[in-house]
Amino acid sequence: MDFFELVSKRRSCRKFAEQKPERALIEKIMEATLTAPSSKNTRSTRFMVIDNPQIISRMSEMRDYGSAFMVGAPVVVLVMGTKSLTDLWEINCAISATYLQLAAEAAGLGSCWVHVGGRPRLKDEPQGEQAEEYLRTFLPIPKECGVVCAVALGYSGYDGQRTKPIANNDGMVTYL
């Protein structure tokens, strides 16, 4: 599959098959992810690969909206950035997470981004406990790192090929 076919087929995957991806495949995806560009080549992004179902289950409770599906994911990669290396650490994380999702797709896995940074645990309590604070209570997140997102990974649990919804791209690109 070439790049253009890959991006045209990728969809967020929130339902996973029970089959656990092989460690070698995850390592290949992570190697590709580590080639991502970063501001001034600071390479500030750090990753935590989690395949323990009990830990993933706890992670899925980090928010009361948009994270519950993670409980069915065989692998979750936490994407973090070392803040002291660059003021653009969050942007570096976002690029890395995007590479991770595309590499997963190329490797035949589905994935979905679950946001962490700046998100409260409870939608109706924006000033309450933050998703990142909660994750720090049971994950060894380095104190010098901020967390941007978690990427859930696994073989797709959907039947057949899912198509992209028709998007209205009017006005999104200007050619001068």
Contact set for ligand FMN, span 106-125 (CB under 6 A): 112-115
Q: Min. distance of Cβ 78 from ligand FMN in angstroms?
A: 13
In terms of CB distance, is 85 or 148 closer to ligand FMN? 148
Q: Min. distance of Cβ 79 from ligand FMN in angstroms?
A: 11
Q: Min. distance of Cβ 176 from ligand FMN in angstroms?
A: 27
In terms of CB distance, is 46 or 119 closer to ligand FMN? 119
x-or-dash string of contact with ligand FMN, 15-54, rule CB under 6 A: ----------------------------------------
Q: Which amino acid is at 90?
A: E
Residues 6+ apart with CB under 8 A from 49: 26, 30, 75, 76, 77
Cβ 109 vs Cβ 153: under 8 Å: yes
Two structure tokens written together for 9: 């087929």
Exposed, middle or buried by CB within 10 Å (0-12, 13-18, 19+), for 171? exposed
Please name the residue that has the structure tokens 């604070």: 133
Q: Min. distance of Cβ 23 from ligand FMN in angstroms?
A: 25
The alpha carbon dihedral of 87, 91, 92, 97 has a sign of: positive
Contact set for ligand FMN, span 51-90 (CB under 6 A): 66
Using CB under 6 A as the criterion, which residues of the chain lie in contact with ligand FMN when the complex forms? 11-12, 14, 66, 112-115
